[in-house]
Amino acid sequence: MRILLLLCLFATSVFGQRFNEPVRMINNRRVDLKPLLTWWTNVVAIHQANETRAETNQIPIPPRPLSAWSLITTDRMTNAGLVWIAEIEIRQTPTDLPVSELVVLEHVPLSGKQTFDGAAARDANAEKELGVAESAKEFHQKRAEQYGERANTFYEFDYMAPGHGFFDEGVRLSNAAQLEKNRATAAEQRGDNLRSEREKLSTITEGRTQFTLESFALKTTRKHLGLPVYDVGLPFGR
């Protein structure tokens, strides 16, 4: 048991965009999934540890709790009123090859999906805005260089032939160059802000453009629309 606990502490989480709140409500009954979450994480760590251990010194896999619950993953969900039709990949253990099945999902965590969809939409817009900001920065930098070069030319004219308005034109072009530099700086700052915003959004989207539900779900004995029903359950207390 001590080995398992230590492995659990050092194991990397296997869950991405997940809905794995440990306590769920199923049919008005409270179900605590913490033993399954701990077992799953420990099995991942045990397999990693066993790769470097002799065959005669392998860490045994403990019995699996809550066998009626499976890890399901899907990014293909269609709303069908109070339920969702989804093509899911099902695993009973971390080392299983996924089995695909078309099912009905109950109690999909809509708040998580809405949060993801909002973040993904904003990230797509921010990406476009970043492209505009970068183009604007390049445009204004080039204009600043052009104005600056022309200003220097007029200053040279004034040096060789003062008193013909060359100096004033040089000042005007220098001011125009500074204005373009300011605009380029503003565009650069806008780009930095957008990159920072996208980094924060990436903690939600994880680089994906579509919500992926990864959760433990209970395979019920019911069918709906001729499809097997999997119940994700509700977070306890909500």
Confidence check: pLDDT of 213 > 50: yes
Residue whose entry in the numeric block shows the structure tokens 């709303």? 79
Confidence band, pLDDT 50/70/90 cuts, at residue 8 = very low
Nearest Cα residue to 52 out of 102, 7, 19, 17: 7
Q: Which residues, in sequence order, are CB contacts of 101 under 8 Å at separation 6+?
A: 87, 88, 90, 228
Q: Are 148 and 191 in contact (CB under 8 A)?
A: no
| Pairwise CA distance, residues 215 & 17, whole Å | 9
| Pairwise CA distance, residues 76 & 194, whole Å | 30
Nearest Cα residue to 228 out of 130, 118, 87, 134: 87
| Pairwise CA distance, residues 197 & 121, whole Å | 13
Q: Which residues, in sequence order, are CB contacts of 123 under 8 Å at separation 6+?
A: 198, 201, 202, 205
Q: Are 210 and 69 in contact (CB under 8 A)?
A: no
Helices (H), the chain: 2-10, 34-50, 110-160, 166-205
**pLDDT, tens only, 56-98:** 999 999 999 999 999 999 988 888 877 899 999 999 999 889 9
Residue 19: the pLDDT is: 66
Secondary structure class of 89 (helix, strand, coil): strand
Lowest mean pLDDT among 4-13, 47-56, 76-85: 4-13
Burial class (CB in 10 A: 0-12, 13-18, 19+), 116: buried
Indicate the pairing of strand 99-106 with strand 227-231: parallel
Number of H helices, E strands in the chain: 4, 9
- What share of the chain in percent tops pLDDT 90? 63
Number of neighbours of residue 220 by Cβ within 10 angstroms: 16
Q: Which residues pair with 238 in a beta bridge?
A: none
Confidence check: pLDDT of 209 > 80: yes
Mean pLDDT of the chain: 87
**pLDDT, tens only, 146-157:** 999 999 999 999
End-to-end CA, the chain: 33
Phi-psi domain of 163 (left: phi exceeds 0; alpha: psi -120 through 50; beta: other): left
